[in-house]
Amino acid sequence: MGADGKVFTLQDVSNHNTPQDCWLVINGKVYNVTEFLEDHPGGDEVLLSATGKDATDDFEDVGHSTSARAMMDEFYVGEIDPSTFPTKLKYTPPKQPHYNQDKTTEFIVKILQFFVPLMILGLAVAIRFYTKSD
């Protein structure tokens, strides 16, 4: 629970997404970082873009210092209700057509049906050309 027992939903936190009122969710805790926007070394846009979602990965990927982590305590306003987060969808790759050996045979037959008559025609033209010039 928060310092004063407050538990927020993701929707509650999502409503605080402006430079005048900016809240973040990091490691299950809610922080009001409005007063820190101007001082944030990465700029206010970084913080504003992390509103309305779990910003834990964004925070951890940057590799914040121990002093930066300690500074978070002064912005702490409560806990997040994890049941209010949308469930993560598992990526399911599209179904690939099953390789059918029989289809490959059909394809080869169709190619041969095209090329064999073409080769016979080419051979006939070549024979005609060479026999005519004698």
53 within some domain: yes
75 within some domain: yes
Separation between Cα atoms, residue 59 and residue 53, nearest integer Å: 12
CATH number of domain containing 54: 3.10.120.10
Tell me the pTM: 0.62
Tens of pLDDT, residues 83-116: 888 877 677 777 766 666 556 677 888 888 889 9
CA angle, residues 18, 21, 27, in degrees to nearest 5: 95
Contact assessment for residue 13 and residue 75, using Cβ atoms and an 8 Å cutoff: no
Tens of pLDDT, residues 49-58: 999 899 999 9
Contact assessment for residue 36 and residue 53, using Cβ atoms and an 8 Å cutoff: no
Tens of pLDDT, residues 28-79: 999 999 999 999 998 999 999 999 899 999 999 888 889 989 999 999 999 9
2 within some domain: no
Residues 21 and 72 in one domain: yes
CB within 8 Å of 33: residues ≥ 6 apart: 22, 23, 24, 40, 47, 75
Half-sphere exposure of 123 (CA within 13 A, CB side): 6
90 within some domain: no
30: left (phi over 0), alpha (psi -120 to 50) or beta: beta
Domain that holds residue 73: 7-84
Contact assessment for residue 68 and residue 115, using Cβ atoms and an 8 Å cutoff: no
Q: How far is CA 11 from CA 6, 24, 37, 82, in A?
A: 14, 12, 21, 11
